[in-house]
Structure formats: C-alpha cells, structure tokens
C-alpha cells in the first residue's frame, strides 16, 4: 500500500511539474525575442493588421492595442475592437510585465488576474512602426503597426520570418479597417 501511494504521489507530482512548466513558458522553443528593446518607443497605439484567431478575438475587426506605463513600472494594455457578430465595441484591459531583462522584448500579459501568457516581440523595424509578436506557443501570432496600412515589403518579411520559425501563416486573419 505504501509503495502504491508513493507511486501515485510521484506520478501526480511529475504531471503537475510538467503542467506548470508548460504554462510558465512564455515563448515557443527556437523563437527569440528582440534584444535591445526600448519599451518607451513601443508604447502607444498599435493597429492589429493580422492575427492567429483565438477565442478572445473571434469575430473582431478594427482591433487596436494601446500600451502605456503604470506607476509600478508594469505596462497597461488596452485592447479594443468591433465584434461584427454582436455589432458592438469590445474592450479589455490587462497588465504586462517583462520576463527577465527589460532590454529583451519578452513579456507576459494578463487580462485575468494572476493568469499570464507570453507576449513576445520577435521583429520590429528600426523606427518602431511595425512589429511581429507571438505568444507562448505557435498558436498566437500578430502583425502590428502604428499605421493602418503596412508596406507589402514588411508584410512579406514578417510572413517569411514567421514561416521560418514554424508558424502556420495560412491561419492568419487579416483585420479590416475603414
């Protein structure tokens, strides 16, 4: 009986450890966040040009994300969009913090209290106008812009990079803007 309890306890501990590791990961294996990242230049309003759809953004057009600094040094995140099925604006507020070095664009973001997920800038142009961002795994990818339109050269560059990193860019949903 003692051996059986020990084996069951060990199995539960192993599974629990694997789950904690899985959900603590903030960036996919083999993907690197931008180094020498300047959060001050990143702050402001970004237009979502494309995304891999998730249950949080289903049926959303005209999506934007606005980033500003909180007094405690964390980043305030306000996402907005228009749900064309419900025919109404949607807004969600969250908080992002760096994972380690603040010069590396590897963050985690939460919209639901203590539950965080990865938010990683994996490409950004030198003028901080266009960014390619991924989540904790290859199911989350966004192309963001400080303008409503992005040059085809940037789109091609970001799509090629994402594909080379193992993202299925055929799953991208392109946001409509008026």
What is the predicted pLDDT for the residue at 57?
Answer: 85
Which residue is it, tokens 């991924």?
134
Nearest residue to 99 via CA among 89, 91, 109: 109
Q: What is the mean pLDDT of residues 79-92?
A: 94
* CA count, 13 A, side-chain hemisphere, 150: 28
> Does residue 7 have a pLDDT over 70?
no
Q: Mean pLDDT of all residues in the chain?
A: 88
Residue 113 — pLDDT band, cuts 50, 70, 90?
Answer: confident
- By percentage, how much of the chain surpasses pLDDT 70? 85
Beta strands in 53-105 (DSSP E): 60-69, 75-83, 88-98
Using CB atoms within 10 Å of the CB of residue 22, give its burial: 0 to 12 exposed, 13 to 18 middle, 19+ buried: exposed
What is the predicted pLDDT for the residue at 3?
Answer: 47
Domain positions in the chain: 26-174
> Does residue 9 have a pLDDT over 50?
no
Asked if 133 contacts 122 with a C-beta cutoff of 8 angstroms, the reply is yes
Q: What is the mean pLDDT of residues 118-135?
A: 98
CATH topology for the 26-174 domain: Lipocalin (2.40.128)
> Does residue 147 have a pLDDT over 50?
yes
What is the predicted pLDDT for the residue at 176?
Answer: 74
């Amino acid at each position: 009986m003692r051996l059986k309890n020990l084996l069951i306890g060990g199995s539960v501990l192993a599974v629990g450890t694997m789950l904690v590791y899985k959900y603590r990961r903030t960036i996919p294996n083999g993907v690197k966040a931008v180094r020498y990242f300047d959060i001050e230049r990143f702050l402001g309003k970004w237009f979502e040009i494309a995304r891999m759809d998730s249950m949080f953004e289903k049926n959303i057009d005209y999506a934007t994300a606005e980033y500003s600094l909180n007094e405690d040094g964390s980043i305030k995140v306000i996402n907005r969009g228009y749900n064309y099925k419900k025919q109404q604006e949607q807004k969600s507020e969250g908080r992002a913090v760096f994972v380690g070095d603040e010069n590396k664009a590897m963050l985690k973001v939460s919209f639901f209290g203590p539950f965080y997920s990865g938010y990683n800038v994996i490409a950004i142009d030198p003028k901080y106008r266009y960014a390619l961002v991924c989540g904790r795994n290859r199911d989350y990818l966004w192309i963001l812009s400080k303008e409503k339109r992005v040059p085809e050269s940037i789109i091609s560059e970001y799509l090629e990079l994402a594909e080379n990193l193992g993202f299925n860019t055929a799953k991208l949903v392109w946001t409509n803007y008026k």
